[in-house]
């Protein structure tokens, strides 16, 4: 005589798969949001690096560096006599206002404010370019300083 083998019924299997699918659906949006926040943080770090590099290129190479926003490709271009560097802006970061910036061979630039908005956390970022020394300060919408670009 054969012994009965114990196994999951079809209904039990469907319930387990449903619970697993629900857990996956709950965790994916949090994972995606985390990746988007990291992409924005990476952009700000890369911008700080390229900004400092542009100042150095201007002073050492005795050249003007022009920083422009390309709406079509969602990129920032750093253009000088020795070539072009570009930074891709994350899809979650919208450019509200970006005026062309020129860094002179002395490292100086005109004061101005560039404005970005994050769709991830719905925050407004103001990139305040300082007169003369050419650094910038990044502020959130409520005015708290995030980074002083010196």
Q: Cα dist. 126→104, 105, 115, 140 in Å? A: 22, 25, 5, 6
List, in sequence order, every beta strand (DSSP E) within the chain. Answer: 65-70, 75-80, 83-88, 93-97, 101-103, 112-118, 124-129, 136-140, 145-148
Could you tell me the two tokens for 135?
Answer: 């650094």
> 10-148 in CATH: which number?
3.55.40
* pLDDT one-digit tens code per residue, 32-59: 888 899 999 999 999 999 999 999 999 9
Euclidean distance between CA atoms 32 and 50, whole angstroms: 27
pLDDT band, very low/low/confident/very high, at 99 (cuts 50, 70, 90): very high
pLDDT for the residue 5: 66
* pLDDT one-digit tens code per residue, 64-98: 999 999 998 899 999 999 899 999 999 999 999 99
| Extents of the domains making up the chain | 10-148
Which of the pair, 12 or 100, is modelled with greater confidence? Answer: 100
């Amino acid at each position: 005589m054969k012994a009965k083998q114990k196994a999951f019924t079809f209904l039990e299997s469907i319930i387990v798969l449903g619970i697993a699918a629900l857990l996956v659906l709950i965790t994916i949006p949090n994972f995606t949001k985390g990746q988007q926040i990291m992409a924005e943080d990476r952009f700000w770090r890369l911008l700080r690096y390229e900004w400092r590099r542009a100042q150095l290129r201007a002073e050492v190479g005795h050249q003007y560096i022009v920083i422009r926003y390309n709406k079509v490709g969602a990129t920032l271009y750093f253009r000088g006599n020795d070539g072009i560097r570009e930074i891709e802006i994350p899809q979650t970061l919208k450019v509200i206002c970006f005026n062309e910036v020129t860094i002179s061979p002395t490292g100086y630039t005109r004061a101005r404010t560039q404005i970005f908005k994050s769709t991830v956390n719905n925050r407004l970022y103001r990139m305040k370019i300082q007169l003369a020394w050419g650094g910038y300060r990044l502020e959130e919408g409520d005015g708290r300083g995030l980074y002083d670009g010196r």
